[in-house]
Chains A and B, each alone.
Chain A
Amino acid sequence: GAVVSQHPSWVICKSGTSVKIECRSLDFQATTMFWYRQFPKQSLMLMATSNEGSKATYEQGVEKDKFLINHASLTLSTLTVTSAHPEDSSFYICSARGNQAGGTYNEQFFGPGTRLTVL
């Protein structure tokens, strides 16, 4: 099956610094990637949708200047949390949808997630 990796798996940073999270599709081309945020014991909240080579589409209430998303290639998307604050501490999960062997998945394949802690 399709594999999605995320790096780092966890990160601790000081308030005011920026943190970059990478999401990679390892064995397929991800035409679309999604970024979610999950608080403890809560659901996955869609933050933004990114298509390769174009600007990300952010969900209502998500600050695009704070959560910078880049999808420069068909296998890599990055989420940068700028000027992070303690309230940004959360579990960030990416997912990818794309083509494999000429087909197009409806299924989203999730990365393992990144736990961000801002001190």
Chain B
Amino acid sequence: GENVEQHPSTLSVQEGDSAVIKCTYSDSASNYFPWYKQELGKRPQLIIDIRSNVGEKKDQRIAVTLNKTAKHFSLHITETQPEDSAVYFCAASIVVGNQFYFGTGTSLTVIP
């Protein structure tokens, strides 16, 4: 099955700086890669996703890049704010099969 690795496990940045979280996946058939943000005790919320036919996608301060050849994708958050503090999960999925396999999570702390 799919194996998704995520780094780093914890990340602290100063407010206004950028944060980058990286994931790798093992199954070359995976072609949908969502990113979720989970605040303590709450449900995961989708923040951005990318499909395999696109190399980069941006939504305001959040961007995701995908390198299918290397089988890795990254989340970039610019101009970080304290409310960005949360746990972030990447995931990989074969669209037709639809199961999501999550990375191990990154606990992001933005220091005011």
Q: Which of B69-112 contact A (CB under 8 A)?
A: 87, 89, 93, 95, 98-105, 107
Residues of chain A contacted by B95 (CB below 8 angstroms): 106
Q: Which of A32, A41, A42, A43 contacts B98 (CB 8 A)?
A: A32
Residues of chain B contacted by A41 (CB below 8 angstroms): 87, 105, 107
B46 on interface, CB distance cutoff 8 Å: yes
Q: Which of A51-72 contact B (CB under 8 A)?
A: 59-60
Residues of chain B contacted by A113 (CB below 8 angstroms): 42-43
Q: Which of A43, A60, A93 contacts B43 (CB 8 A)?
A: A93
**Would you call B89 and A43 a contact (CB within 8 A)?**
yes
Residues of chain B contacted by A49 (CB below 8 angstroms): 98-99
CB A9 to nearest CB in B, in angstroms, measures 10
Chain A residues bordering chain B, tally (CB within 8 A): 22
A44 on interface, CB distance cutoff 8 Å: yes
Residues of chain A contacted by B98 (CB below 8 angstroms): 32, 49, 97, 106
Residues of chain B contacted by A46 (CB below 8 angstroms): 99-102
User: Of all chain B residues, which has the CB nearest A59?
Assistant: B1
**Would you call A44 and B44 a contact (CB within 8 A)?**
yes
Q: Which of B1, B45, B102, B107 contacts A44 (CB 8 A)?
A: B102
13 residue pairs from A and B, CB less than 8 Å apart: A34-B99, A36-B102, A43-B102, A43-B105, A44-B89, A45-B102, A46-B101, A93-B44, A97-B98, A106-B95, A106-B98, A108-B34, A112-B43
Interface residues of B (CB under 8 A from A): 1, 32, 34, 42-46, 49, 87, 89, 93, 95, 98-105, 107
Interface residues of A (CB under 8 A from B): 32, 34, 36, 41-46, 49, 59-60, 93, 95, 97, 106-108, 110-113
Known: A43-B89, A43-B105, A49-B99. 13 other contacts (CB 8 A): A32-B98, A41-B107, A46-B100, A46-B101, A97-B98, A106-B93, A107-B34, A107-B49, A108-B34, A110-B43, A112-B42, A113-B42, A113-B43
